[in-house]
Amino acid sequence: MSRRYRPPARAAVTAGAAAAMARAGYAALRRRPPGGAAAWTRTNHRGEAVTLLEGPAAALGAALASALAPGLSPRGRAALAAAGAGAAAFGGYDDLAGSGGRRGFRGHLGALAGGEVTTGAVKIGGIGATGMVAAALIGGRPADVIINAGLTAGGANLLNLFDLRPGRALKVALAGSALIAGTGGPDAARAVAGPAGAALALLPEDLGERAMLGDAGANALGAVLGAAAAASLPRPARVALLAGIIGLTAASEVVSFTAVIERTPALRWLDMLGRRPAAGPGQAETGGTGDAGGVPAVDGGRRTPAARGVSGAGPASSATPP
């Protein structure tokens, strides 16, 4: 056997490191939650308390393992780490400081046009800047930088759109990792290994409804996946992927992903795989008329603004994108 790592082995090493870091980070954060446990507690669609500490742990595992990943170029490692850290920081800010009163791009940009700066608007700008930093680190022609920035920022936002039911965003992250790896080959497999390993490690917590990604985790995993695609895929594949991200993001403003999943048997089966049975009468899971708009009372079915009174948490943050 060769003493050198083969590409699949390098990806496996990175995935394993990300999983270990994510689990260790989650355990440490649960022992000593920054600002106290109440600040990270939200109420889910069953009226049960869940923690948002899964998000920072997932971001830590994905970003740090990617920064140390064997087989990636120094600039590629830096881009992945910057994407994860930046998106986690701005997503975490929205988690802890956001009120959930404005939702979707239309809500936050409309408020900004009226002179109101929401936490979601700050996150839009911050994650956009994060995408530009990651793209600049990857390098290339101006057109490539624009495409790559769009993939990073768009990936961060898109994955957050799916953080509406237990395990859904992590399943999408794993599916996205497989798609990118299958399209780009060994280089892409090494690039997505960090977010894939972190997602797999924390999936049991999410499916068990003990924790959720929140904006910090969903934005971070999506940003790292977007940067991984940017760093490893040929331009035609990157353009096609960016078009898909833009199309799904636009659709989310008027169509509920939850409703589409519910009425599509195969998607519903995948969505329910590993989850607890659906809430019974009186606890119906409500996704709202659109995932970006949601229903203010239930916040997309994952956590409610009532978390402040029910669980003693701080301001409730939107589970949907900015």
Q: Give the tens place of pLDDT for each residue, 243-260.
A: 999 999 999 989 999 999
Give the residue extent of every domain in the chain: 7-310
Q: Give the dihedral of Cα atoms 93, 98, 103, 109; nearest 10 deg.
A: -70
Mean pLDDT estimate for the chain = 84
Q: How far apart are CA 321 and CA 249, in angstroms?
A: 9
Predicted pLDDT of residue 194: 97
> Do 287 and 256 touch, CB atoms closer than 8 A?
yes
> Closest Cα to residue 69, out of 133, 119, 5?
5
Look at 36-50, 148-162, 256-270 and tell me which has the smallest mean pLDDT.
36-50
**One-letter amino acid for residue 144 of the chain:** D
Q: Which residue has the higher pLDDT, 83 or 296?
A: 83
CB 227 within 8 A of CB 180: no
Span of 130-134, 146-150, 164-168, 297-301 with lowest mean pLDDT: 297-301
Q: How far, rounded to the nearest angstrom, does the alpha carbon of residue 104 sit from its chain's CA centroid?
A: 15
Both tokens of residue 93? 């800010």
- Backbone φ, ψ for residue 273 (5° rounding): -60, 120
Alpha carbon distance 139, 96 (integer Å): 33
User: Residue 43 pairs with which residues in a beta bridge?
Assistant: 49
Question: Phi then psi for 43, rounded to 5 degrees?
Answer: -110, 130
CA distance 129 to 26: 27
CA distance 141 to 261: 39
Residue position matching structure tokens 């971070």:
220
- pLDDT band with cut points at 50, 70 and 90 for residue 286: very low
Q: What mean pLDDT is predicted for residues 219-246?
A: 97
pLDDT value at position 211? 96
Alpha carbons 215 and 159: distance in angstroms, whole number: 9
The pLDDT assigned to 280 comes to 55
Q: Which amino acid is at 2?
A: S
Residue 300 banded pLDDT, cuts 50, 70, 90: very low
The answer to whether residues 219 and 127 touch, using CB atoms and an 8 Å cutoff, is: yes
Quick check: 229 pLDDT over 60? Answer: yes
Give the pLDDT of residue 130. Answer: 97
Token pair, residue 5, equals 């790592």
